C-alpha cells in the first residue's frame, strides 16, 4: 500500500490510514452505548484483545497515553511511587500525567541499550517501609522500547521482571504500544510477552493501522476498576463500535504483515550504511525503526535535511541530530529505495 498523495511519510507508524476493509467495517458496525457496556463491537474487540495478550479482560481506550495513565491510576494510590525507565514513554512523553493527574512519583532506573532495566537496579529502587518514603507499588516496562531503537524485550526477561515485582508485593505494567512488533520480530505469541505482566496496553493506531484506539488488558477485577478511572479521565465513549470495528480488522489482518515493515526497515538501513554524513546506530533496526545521527562531517543541519526532502514528498523527523525513520503499512520497498536515493543526494 502507499499513500494516494504519493507521500513517503517516515515520521512515525501513527501516520497510517485505515484500510478499505477497515472503512467498510466501520460503516457497517453494530453499535451501542459503551458506557452502559452494551456496544457489541467493542465487546468483541475487548475479548479478542484479552485472548491475544493472555489476560481475562480488556478495555478500549482512546489512546496509548490514556491506557497507561488508567493502568497507573488503577494499580496505585496517590502518593505512591512507580519504577520506570529513564527513556520510557510513560516518563518522557506523556505530559507528566502520572504526577499531574495521578499524584504519583517516578523512580527512575536507567534503560540499558537493549531496552531492559537491570533487575538489580529495580530491586534497589524499591522503597523500604519507612514513613518518610513513598510506597513503591508498580514497575513499568516498555515493549518495544522506542527510545532504545525499537528493541523488543524477550519473554524470559519479562517473566523475570514480573517475578521480581511479585516477590516484592508489586505489580508489573507493560506499555506494549508496539507489542505485536515485538512478538513478530521474535516469532512468539503476544501472550508470551504480555501474559507475565499484571496489565498491558497496546495500540491499534500505530503499526496495526487502525485510525484510533488502544486496549488495556488484565484480570477481570482490574479491568472493572479501570473502567471507573477511564471515566474519570474523560474516556467514557458512546457509540464507539465504529472505531472498534477498525480495531477488529487490525487484529485479524494487520499483525502478521508487520514482518513486511521490519523487512523494509532492514532494507532502509542497508541502503543507508555507506551514505556519507550518516551514522547508523548499532543494531538498527530491531523492528520497524531505523535510527541514525548526522555526523559532524554532514553538510546539512537536521532542519535543512528535513526541508530538502519535502519537495521529493519525503517526510522525516529528528530530535536534535538523531533521526528516527519508521516503516509501516503505507511504506513500500520502492519508497525505501527512493528515500535512500534522496538522502544520498541531499547529503552529497
pLDDT in tens, 104-142: 999 999 999 999 999 999 999 999 999 999 999 999 999
Longest dimension (CA), the chain: 62
CATH 3.90.1150.10 fits 8-15+257-347, yes or no: yes
Say yes or no to pLDDT of 165 above 80.
Answer: yes
Q: How confident is the model at residue 3 (pLDDT cuts 50, 70, 90)?
A: low
| C-alpha distance from residue 98 to each of 74, 82, 251 (Å) | 12, 9, 29
Q: pLDDT band for 348, please (50, 70, 90 cuts).
A: confident
Q: Would you say 102 and 76 are in contact if contact means Cβ atoms under 8 Å apart?
A: yes
If phi over 0 gives left and psi between -120 and 50 gives alpha, with beta otherwise, what is residue 277? left
Q: Between the CA of residue 67 and those of 98, 166, 307, what are the distances in Å?
A: 12, 22, 35
Q: In what order do the strands lie in the sheet with 136-142?
A: 57-61, 214-218, 199-203, 171-175, 136-142, 81-85, 105-109
Domains 8-15+257-347 and 20-253 share a fold: no
Report the CATH architecture of 20-253.
3-Layer(aba) Sandwich (3.40)
pTM to 2 decimals?
0.96
* Arithmetic mean of pLDDT, 6-29: 96
pLDDT by residue (tens digit) across 173-185? 999 999 999 999 9
Split at pLDDT 50, 70, 90, the class of 241 is: very high
Q: Quick one: pLDDT at residue 98?
A: 97
305 neighbors 322 (Cβ within 8 angstroms): no
Cβ proximity of 59 and 46 under 8 Å: yes
Name every residue whose Cβ is closer than 8 Å to that of residue 281 and which is 6 or more positions away in sequence. 149, 291, 292, 293
Q: What is the pLDDT of residue 263?
A: 98
Task: Give the pLDDT band (50/70/90) at residue 6.
Answer: confident
**Residue spans per domain, the chain:** 8-15+257-347, 20-253
Cα–Cα distance measured from residue 175 to residue 258, given in angstroms and rounded to the nearest whole number: 19
Residue with cell 555526523: 295
* Mean pLDDT score of the chain: 96
Amino acid at each position: 500500500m502507499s499513500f494516494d498523495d504519493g507521500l513517503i511519510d517516515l515520521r512515525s507508524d501513527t501516520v497510517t490510514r485505515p484500510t478499505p476493509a477497515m472503512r467498510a467495517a466501520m460503516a457497517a458496525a453494530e453499535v451501542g452505548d459503551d458506557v452502559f457496556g452494551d456496544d457489541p463491537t467493542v465487546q468483541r474487540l475487548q475479548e479478542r484483545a484479552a485472548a491475544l495478550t493472555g489476560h481475562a479482560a480488556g478495555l478500549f481506550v482512546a489512546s496509548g497515553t490514556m491506557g497507561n495513565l488508567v493502568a497507573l491510576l488503577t494499580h496505585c494510590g496517590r502518593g505512591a511511587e512507580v519504577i520506570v525507565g529513564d527513556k520510557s514513554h510513560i516518563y518522557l512523553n506523556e505530559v507528566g500525567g502520572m504526577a499531574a493527574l495521578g499524584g504519583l512519583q517516578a523512580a527512575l532506573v536507567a534503560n540499558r541499550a537493549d531496552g531492559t532495566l537491570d533487575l538489580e537496579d529495580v530491586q534497589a529502587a524499591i522503597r523500604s517501609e519507612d514513613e518518610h518514603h513513598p510506597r513503591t507499588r508498580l514497575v513499568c516496562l516498555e515493549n518495544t522500547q522506542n527510545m532504545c531503537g525499537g528493541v523488543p524485550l524477550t519473554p524470559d526477561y519479562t517473566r523475570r521482571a514480573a517475578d521480581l515485582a511479585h516477590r516484592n508485593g508489586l505489580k508489573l505494567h507493560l506499555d506494549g504500544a508496539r507489542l505485536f512488533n515485538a512478538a513478530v520480530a521474535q516469532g512468539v505469541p503476544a501472550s508470551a510477552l504480555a501474559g507475565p505482566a499484571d496489565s498491558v496496553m497496546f495500540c491499534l493506531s500505530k503499526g496495526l493501522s487502525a485510525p484510533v484506539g488502544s486496549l488495556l488488558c488484565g484480570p477481570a477485577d482490574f479491568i472493572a476498576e479501570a473502567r471507573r478511572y477511564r471515566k474519570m479521565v474523560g474516556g467514557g465513549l458512546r457509540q464507539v463500535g465504529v472505531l472498534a470495528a477498525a480495531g477488529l480488522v487490525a487484529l485479524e489482518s494487520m499483525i502478521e504483515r508487520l514482518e513486511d515493515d521490519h523487512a523494509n526497515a532492514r532494507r532502509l538501513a542497508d541502503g543507508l550504511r555507506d551514505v556519507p554524513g550518516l551514522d547508523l546506530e548499532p543494531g538498527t533496526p530491531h523492528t520497524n525503526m531505523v535510527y541514525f545521527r548526522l555526523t559532524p562531517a554532514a553538510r546539512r543541519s537536521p532542519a535543512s535535511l528535513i526541508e530538502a526532502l519535502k519537495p521529493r514528498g519525503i517526510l522525516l523527523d529528528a530530535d536534535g541530530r538523531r533521526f528516527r525513520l519508521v516503516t509501516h503499512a503505507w511504506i513500500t520497498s520502492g519508497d525505501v529505495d527512493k528515500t535512500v536515493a534522496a538522502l544520498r543526494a541531499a547529503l552529497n
